[in-house]
Amino acid sequence: MTGIRWGYALNQWDTNIDAFVRKRDHERAFKTISISGFSGVELTAESFGPWEPLGSPEQIANLYGSLDGLRRVLTECALDGVSSYVYDPFIGFDVEMGRGHDPLDPEAAPRITATAVWFAEALAALGGEVLVVRPCGSAWQTGALDDDRIAALAACWNTVGAAVAAAGVSLALHFDFLSALRLDDGLARLLDATDPELVGLALDTAEVAVAGLDPVAVFERHADRVRHVQLKDARDVVDDAEALTPHAEQFVRTEGGARRVERWFFEPTDEGGLVDFESFAGSLARHGYTGWIVVESDQSPHPAESAMVSGWYVQNVLAPLTSAAGELSGSAVGKA
């Protein structure tokens, strides 16, 4: 298939450990996403056992009987399948709620690779195409990455990229606003150090914007490496000093930091956030991007409403702007 496909992330429904565990809740979300105009869903890897029934291939099979069982439910809800899985290697799956592995540790690469393949093979069964991964830890944990550590990360992700490609899945590195890659041009240096045939970029417009970067400029710089887009808005910027706050994942991202920011991410609209969505969509079209665009609205207090608002904006504003992408490129989905 060619062109752009629009998906929606389920993470905004999964707000608490027991908030999104029943099939009926899943089906309501699937149907809401479908009637809002989206054709796929994005899942997040989690290791809380039956309390995260979509968090791993094992838990999906436990609830739905098999991966095919979930695929059938998605089809019955008028969805094509799962677009992508988001996998953070720091989350462990050997032991429920256990600690994962650091990509900077060369000895961790085999286990990270094995887990990535586990998710990639599940993705292939669910109709998905992109494994989105967190490539390194946060800035406060590592500081700026020197050339040796960039090389270590590149070696890990090149290995993972080759392994998941065997399942027909692309690998895309996800930049988050607390990432060590925000320091000393780390993202560009890591992309330069990795094999472009094996390792791509998942561009998250809001994460980039919160880090003080222009999503359009980042896309223009790395358009040939973008394999996946996550679309959402933001209203507040986190500078390097704030990102370097100890335990920033909890203090800044979860608790809002010293400013007590209540919500970092918002639906894509034209109502005045940090992201210029129309310019971004135009850039996608000019570069002939083909692949999934997954809309997110993390932290939404009203998930169904956010999905419908986002669907209206996509169908009436963004999709017409990106429709030229399929005409500009004959590349396969996810190979922009």
Which pLDDT tens digit goes with each residue over 153-202? 999 999 999 999 999 999 999 999 999 999 999 999 999 999 999 999 99
* pLDDT at position 97: 66
Which pLDDT tens digit goes with each residue over 205-224? 999 999 999 999 999 999 99
Specify the pTM: 0.93
Which element (helix H / strand E) includes 155?
helix 147-165
Q: What integer best gives the mean pLDDT of the chain?
A: 93
Q: For residue 150, what are its two tokens?
A: 């960039």
Asked if 209 contacts 170 with a C-beta cutoff of 8 angstroms, the reply is no
Burial zone of 266 (CB within 10 Å; 0-12 exposed, 13-18 middle, 19+ buried) = buried
Q: Of 23, 2, 13, 6, which is closest to residue 46 (Cα–Cα)?
A: 13
Q: Of 296, 231, 251, 301, which is closest to residue 44 (Cα–Cα)?
A: 296
How far is 106 from 268, CA to CA, in rounded Å?
39
How far is 204 from 219, CA to CA, in rounded Å?
10
Phi, psi of 83 (to 5 degrees): -75, -40
How far is 10 from 86, CA to CA, in rounded Å?
11
State the alpha helices, DSSP H only, in 229-276.
240-243, 248
* pLDDT at position 335: 32
In this prediction, residues 226-242 reach a mean pLDDT of 97
Residue 270 has pLDDT above 90, yes or no: no
How far is 281 from 6, CA to CA, in rounded Å?
13
Burial zone of 151 (CB within 10 Å; 0-12 exposed, 13-18 middle, 19+ buried) = middle
How far is 230 from 179, CA to CA, in rounded Å?
16
Asked if 200 contacts 172 with a C-beta cutoff of 8 angstroms, the reply is yes
Asked if 295 contacts 6 with a C-beta cutoff of 8 angstroms, the reply is yes
Query: Which residue in the block uniquely carries the two structure tokens 């997040």?
Result: 44
| Count of other CB atoms within 10 angstroms of residue 194 | 24
The angle formed by the CA atoms of residues 47, 51 and 55, to the nearest 5 degrees, is: 40
* pLDDT at position 109: 95
Q: Which amino acid is at 213?
A: L
Q: Of 22, 19, 41, which is closest to residue 32 (Cα–Cα)?
A: 41
Write down all domains in the chain, each with its CATH number in brackets. Answer: 4-328 (3.20.20.150)
